[in-house]
Amino acid sequence: MASEALFPYSQPTGEGILPSQEIVDLVRSGKICSSQEITEDQIQPSSIDLRLSREAFRLRASFLPGKSTTLINKAKANGMLIETIDLSSGAILEPGEIYVIPLMENLSLPTNLYGIANPKSTTGRLDIFTRLITECGDEFERVPRGYHGGLYIEVLSQTFRVFVRSGMRLNQLRFGRGRHSAVGEDRLNWLDQKDLLIDPDEENGQAKIDRGLRLTVDLQGNGSNVVGYRAKKTDQVLDLALVSHYEVSDFWTPILRGEECILAPGEFYILASKQRIRIPPDLAAEMLPYDLSTQEFRVHYAGFFDPGFGYGRSGEIPGTRAVLEVRANEMPILLEDDQFVGRLTYYNMSEKPNKVYGEMIGSNYQQQGLALSKQFKRESQRTSNTSSVNYALQAESPKSQTFLRTVRDTVDAEDDDNLVFRLAFPGTVGDHGISAMKSKD
């Protein structure tokens, strides 16, 4: 890793989820290694981001390799392999297709460490289902203690056509020492009394503790008329490398406050929790569905919550809503406001991390409300464009006002550069002028 001075060596501490500084030590000691240099921004407060390698394998079905052979050998021997795809320059992953992609990172863990994987937040919000696989493993998303070998990711994009490249990060891996057991209710109740679990100014005022922190869905909008989004079926390709690029309306249908919210089987929804949750720096958390036995609907693909989420380093963040990635399984389900949808379970860190979740480490969702993934333009971007046109309308002639109103009515489908171009050169608003501006992107 570059700039080792930023990360002094630390001695292994107690039981719990390993913090950023111990993950760095695993890299330095060769227990985590890679075909390319591991960068500092891969190390999160309680996990490491894993990167796609240069090949992807499209398969006929999902499977685990078992203990007798490697994953790729089993795929080839059983006729499961459909094609091999080069990711060096990027490729489209089609919805409904199963891909297995070797990861750049591999492990040589000591016998007292295990690993647990999860999709990254952005991955989950795009309805991309991922699972980590180990060589000769018999369980998804788990790395056994003392594991030596390569890592693979199974990828299933369930809604969108997505463009991925080698080096992209779709999932993350946590490491733990000792037992993987959640914090008990006594400590959660103690934390709740000190306003460390939810925003103390929330209307309900008190966390509901029952085998974790109970979370409910917000269908009142917290002051907004939009309470959720339903994914559209579209042939457009969504490049995961682009940030604040795509128009929300091209990929999502808003769910408005007061509308009946019935989850249709096979559809994907983005909703938000009623509670503003907080994760103190000495804890990590994971979202679990409300009923593991029935699995009627899934509420959070990317279940990991880092130390400092909704909290900051010293409690300066009053709480952040959890975004719910919701998919019904087999039957339509009516959701109602404040309905119980899942539990947040808390786990002890073995030590407080050197870095916590937030803007200082490039985190995208620290003070989110109802937030789509980072590839989509934020509401502030769209409204600022409209406000600019409204201001210009006040000083223009009637002829110019007609033109500006046309631009304002379509501004949600334009980027900032195109808007400025139209205002500056109203005689060149045809397709040629707009395409010329877009060619800069």
- Domain containing residue 328: CATH number: 2.70.40.10
- Is the domain of 85 the same as that of 128? yes
- Is the domain of 38 the same as that of 141? yes
Structure tokens at 3: 């700039």
- Is the domain of 163 the same as that of 41? yes
Residue with tokens 């550069």: 417
Domain count, the chain: 3
**418 found inside a domain:** yes
Domain boundary residue, one of 149, 177, 205: 177
Compute φ and ψ for 73, nearest 5 degrees: -60, -40
- Is the domain of 301 the same as that of 324? yes
Report strand pairing: 237-239 vs 161-164: parallel
**370 found inside a domain:** no
C-beta of residue 154 within 8 angstroms of C-beta of residue 126: no
- Is the domain of 239 the same as that of 189? yes
**373 found inside a domain:** no
Domain boundary residue, one of 116, 149, 177: 177
- Is the domain of 135 the same as that of 32? yes
**273 found inside a domain:** yes
- Is the domain of 173 the same as that of 194? no
Compute φ and ψ for 419, nearest 5 degrees: -65, -50
**347 found inside a domain:** yes
- Is the domain of 49 the same as that of 76? yes
pLDDT tens string, the chain, 441 residues long: the values are: 544 444 444 555 689 999 999 999 999 999 999 999 999 999 999 999 999 999 999 999 998 877 767 788 888 887 899 999 999 999 999 999 999 999 999 999 999 999 999 999 999 999 999 999 999 888 899 999 999 999 999 999 999 999 999 999 999 999 999 988 899 999 999 998 888 898 876 655 578 998 899 999 999 987 789 999 999 999 999 999 999 999 999 999 999 999 999 999 999 999 999 999 999 999 999 988 765 555 566 666 668 999 999 999 899 898 999 999 998 888 898 999 999 988 899 999 999 999 998 766 666 666 667 889 999 998 755 444 444 444 444 444 444 444 444 444 433 333 343 443 333 334 433 333 322 222 233
**372 found inside a domain:** no
**391 found inside a domain:** yes
- Is the domain of 321 the same as that of 394? no
Domain with 431, as residue range(s), is 379-438
pLDDT of residue 395: 40
**211 found inside a domain:** yes
pTM for the whole thing?
A: 0.81
- Beta-carbon neighbour count of residue 224 at 10 Å? 15
